[in-house]
Amino acid sequence: MNSQINRENKNIITMLTISIRGDKMPSSPIRKLVPYSEEAKSRGIKVYHLNIGQPDIKTPEVALAAAKNADLKVIEYSHSAGIESYRRKLAKYYQNIGIDIDHNNLLVTTGGSEAITFAFLSCFNPGDEVIIPEPFYANYNGFAIAAGVNVKPIESFIEDGFALPPIEKFEDLITDKTKGIVICNPNNPTGYLYSEDELNSLRELVIKHDLYLFSDEVYREFCYDGHEHISVMHLKGIENNVVMFDSVSKRYSECGVRIGALVTKNSEVLNTALKFAQARLSPPTFGQIIAEASLDTPKSYFDEVQKEYISRRDFLVAGLNKIPGVYSPKPKGAFYTVAKLPVDDSDKFCQWILSEFDYEGQTVMMAPASGFYSTPGRGKDEVRIAYVLKKEDLAKALIVLEKALEAYPGRVGA
């Protein structure tokens, strides 16, 4: 009898399957090499982490003080839309940069990631299409899969610094299923900053086809060389089409706080997103306390941080372009660059440099750029590099990279 039950249970187990969504969900190109990095460290190898946007910049003192001094008797749920005092203060922050909203036009989320997920779930039906210039933040693919949305990539190219593709190319992709466009400005992974002309061309397209325009603006404070950030919230005539995503993670170097925002003047989108927010109850209480305090960060903090990132960018990009066969454009924002390498396959190279190579007990961890593209075959000779380490470490990482490229069996070109 027992053997019969075991046979029946075994048959039941073999019928279990993983969901289609789960099967399609891509591994993070930023984090998938972590086991190789950990194994290298276990061998005593120093690993320079240029793979992930985790700055070594110190979190503002006002934020750290808020974390230390929170005097709570009970750690309660907040309103599902976020603590009202934080939303009011955050709305004033936006008003100060020319974004005309109040606290009722935003929803506090668990990181920018949840803001994107809520927006996709609120604005798209399964099978709808969204156009995204590639390379793009790899997790957009995951958010789209979770919402049943089909990503239609539109190619940008390293040769022109990853500028916005011609609007005609967008037109070619638009079908009766196209519901929106996603941009990241400044861009992750390329560091490209969209110009006013480029944003206005998107504005005209959005009006013509009545599309949503989603804009990920978490790197707003990091714009260089006199270039100013223009938000999609500044564009006139498409207020009802625009949904902006934001986060405190990069702005204040507090990635672990996990507080973001969904911002829109479209009340229907916001009310729908709130229903998803209610289902997850509330964003983190301590995270909101820290984020609210962070809004008091003095301008001097950002002046210093920007100066540091410009110095790192200039040093890194110059160093990359001195390595034979390597090319990197100069980013106008964020703290990433995409570099073209003389390799057969950047996925193989990024694994090889961790598992089979070191130079004087050191190696480098980078993100293969193929994971930031949806078009098969794109990015196979590119990597994303985050200049989130001090220049002394970047200098050592550049030496390791040059030596690795000299030794790599799959090197291409002379």
* Sheet containing strand 106-109, strands side by side: 106-109, 260-263, 242-247, 212-216, 178-184, 129-134, 150-155
Q: Is the model more confident about 30 or about 254?
A: 254
In this prediction, residues 210-215 reach a mean pLDDT of 98
In this prediction, residues 382-407 reach a mean pLDDT of 98
Q: What is the pLDDT of residue 27?
A: 80
The reply to whether 305 and 331 lie within a common domain is yes
The reply to whether 277 and 319 lie within a common domain is no
**CB contact set of 344 (below 8 Å; sequence gap of 6+):** 380, 381, 410, 411, 412
The reply to whether 34 and 82 lie within a common domain is no
The pLDDT of residue 340 is above 60: yes
The reply to whether 233 and 352 lie within a common domain is no
The pLDDT of residue 289 is above 90: yes
The reply to whether 137 and 248 lie within a common domain is yes
Q: What is the pLDDT of residue 12?
A: 54
Please give the model's pTM, rounded to 2 decimal places: 0.94
Can you give the CATH number for the domain in which 360 is found?
A: 3.90.1150.10
The pLDDT of residue 414 is above 80: no
The percent of residues in the chain predicted with pLDDT above 90, rounded, is 93
DSSP per-residue codes, 197-216: HHHHHHHHHHHHHT-EEEEE
Q: Which of 266, 294, 322 is the last residue before a domain boundary?
A: 294
The reply to whether 149 and 137 lie within a common domain is yes
Tell me the C-alpha distance between 215 and 191, whole Å: 15
pLDDT bracket for residue 227 (50, 70, 90): very high
Q: What is the pLDDT of residue 32?
A: 84
- The mean predicted confidence, pLDDT, of the chain is 95
Here the tokens at position 152 are 């239609």
Q: Which of 277, 294, 311 is the last residue before a domain boundary?
A: 294
Q: What is the pLDDT of residue 319?
A: 98
The domain in which residue 150 lies consists of 62-294
The reply to whether 287 and 388 lie within a common domain is no
Other Cβ atoms closer than 10 A to 403:
18
pLDDT bracket for residue 10 (50, 70, 90): low
Q: What is the pLDDT of residue 238?
A: 98
The reply to whether 188 and 176 lie within a common domain is yes
The reply to whether 290 and 307 lie within a common domain is no
DSSP per-residue codes, 352-389: HHHHT--BTTEEEE-EEGGGG--STTTTTTEEEEE--S
Q: What is the pLDDT of residue 29?
A: 74
Q: What is the 3-state secondary structure (H, E, C) of 98-167?
A: CCCCCHHHEEEECHHHHHHHHHHHHHCCCCCEEEEEECCCCHHHHHHHHHCCEEEEEECCHHHCCCCCCH
Beta bridge partners of 348: none
Q: Which of 294, 323, 339 is the last residue before a domain boundary?
A: 294
